[in-house]
Each structure stands twice: as C-alpha cells, then as structure tokens.
Amino acid sequence: MILQELESWSWLAGIGSLVIALVTLLWQIRSAMRRTSRKGDWEVMDRAFHGVRIGAPILTLQKLGLKPIDRSGSGAIKITKWRLDNGNEMSVTYDSVQDRILYVEIDWNQKTSGIAADMGGLLFGRSTLQQIRRMYKSNGFSYAAHVMCEVEDGIVTFNAFELKRTPTIIVVFITKLSDDTRQHILTLPAEKQVLAYIGEHFKLDAVAIADESYLDEIWGKDKIYDPKSISIKL
C-alpha cells in the first residue's frame, strides 16, 4: 500500500516537473521572441538613422565622424545638423543638461543619391502616404496641433506610429505634396480633386524618430488616432 502511494506521488511529481519545464521553456521562447523583435526594430533604426539612438548620450554623436553644418538651440535643448555621404541631411535634437538624444530626423536631398530611406524598402520622393498606410495597416496618429503645414515648396503631413516593443519611441513619416503636383490637381475636374489629394500624391520627404514625451512637449499632448491604429514593428 505504501509502495503504491509512493509510486502515485512519484508519478504526480513527474507530471509537475514536466509542467514546470514546459512553462519555463515557453517563457524562454517568449522572452527570446521579444528580444528578437526589439533587436529587429533597433537594427532598422540604426541603419536608417546611422546608429544615432533616442535616449543615448550626446558623446555617441562623435561616432558619426562628420563635420556639423549647423547648430542652433535654446537653453538646454540643442540641435545639430550634418550632411550625410548620400547628400541627405540629418538633424539631432538633444538635451545638453540631461545628456539625452531626443529627436532624430533625416531630410531627403531631392536627388536620387539619397532616395533610399533604409526603412521597410521605402523610397524618398517615390513612396506614397498610401503605401505607408498599407504597410502599417493604418494612418497611425497625428498630433492635433501638428497634422499638416505649408512649406516653401508644398504641403507636408505627419503620420506617427508607436513602436510595439519600444513604446517610448515614436516613428514619424513626413510626406509632402509638392506645389507642382498641387497645381496639376487643380486642373482636374472638381469631383476628382478631393480623391487626388488622398494618399497617392503625398510622397515621403523625411523620416524621424523621437522620444514621445519630447514630442508631447513641443507638439502638444492632444493626438488624433486612426481607429485602426496599432503599435507597429519596423
């Protein structure tokens, strides 16, 4: 009788050990998948933004090995700009007191030499807002006070997305409707003009990554979300 009870307990202990082992394995797999996804996001951002990371200390900017072409700022917040080897310009905003990089933007030089955005196969001057919407399944969100603005040669709009594995970092796709394209649209019949503005004629002109709290501070906390908006993986 005692032997049978011992065998019974031994069997239950074996089952318990197996369950614990399976739970541990599943947890390890889940953690590995999270690390891989997060690593994948950083690999894309490092490639697109030349290794400049949000939250990194200012000293890391020396690794660029480039001579700044412009410096500006007010108080602790400073902005430095470089011209990259492909002709595009990169500007970095950082807090000189907290020693943190807050915002990085790549601006297209309007030439084929800088056409590759190095992010999901997107191309400056060619990839449309509609393609970005399809790629990330929604419009993402916009800052209510910073949805769209006029620039010297057109209109730009800002579509932001939260990163699923790095929720404090925001990716912003800046697309532009050029004056030339806008003039062409105005020659179309009235019923076609509204449709022409939607998505297909706003083309990628710049990309940025930012600390969300910094954008909340400079663009306002009010956001307009696409009902289908979800956090994305790059």
pLDDT at 150: 86
With a cut of 50, say whether residue 161 has pLDDT above it.
Answer: yes
d(CA 224, CA 139): 10
98 — pLDDT class (breaks 50, 70, 90): very high
Identify whether 234 is part of a domain: no
Give 163 or 186, the one with higher predicted confidence: 163
With a cut of 50, say whether residue 36 has pLDDT above it.
Answer: no
Q: How many structural domains comprise the chain?
A: 1
> Of 160, 157, 196, 161, nearest to 175 (Cα)?
157
Neighbours of 50 (CB within 10 A): 20
71 — pLDDT class (breaks 50, 70, 90): very high
Identify whether 48 is part of a domain: yes
Q: Which residues contact 15 (CB under 8 A, 6 or more apart)?
A: none
Q: What is the mean pLDDT of residues 156-183?
A: 89
**DSSP assignments along the chain, one per residue:** -HHHHHHHHHHHHHHHHHHHHHHHHHHHHHHHHHHHHHHHHHHHHHHHTTT--TT--GGGGGGG---EEEEEEETTEEEEEEE-TTS-EEEEEEETTTTEEEEEEEE--SSGGG-B--STT-BTTTSBHHHHHHHHTS--EEETTSSEEEETTEEEEEEEEEBSS-TTEEEEEEEEEEHHHHHHHHTS-HHHHHHHHSSTT-EEEEEEEEEHHHHHHHH-S-EEE-TT---B--
Q: Among 25-34, 93-102, 124-133, where is mean pLDDT lowest?
A: 25-34
Identify whether 94 is part of a domain: yes
Q: What is the mean pLDDT of residues 18-32?
A: 48
Identify whether 21 is part of a domain: no
> Of 122, 123, 89, 118, nearest to 106 (Cα)?
89
Identify whether 221 is part of a domain: yes
Residue 203: how many CA atoms within 13 Å on its side-chain side?
Answer: 15
Domain that holds residue 82: 38-225
200 — pLDDT class (breaks 50, 70, 90): confident
Identify whether 193 is part of a domain: yes
Spacing of C-alpha 152 from chain mean position: 25
Are residues 221 and 146 in contact, defined by beta-carbon separation less than 8 angstroms? no
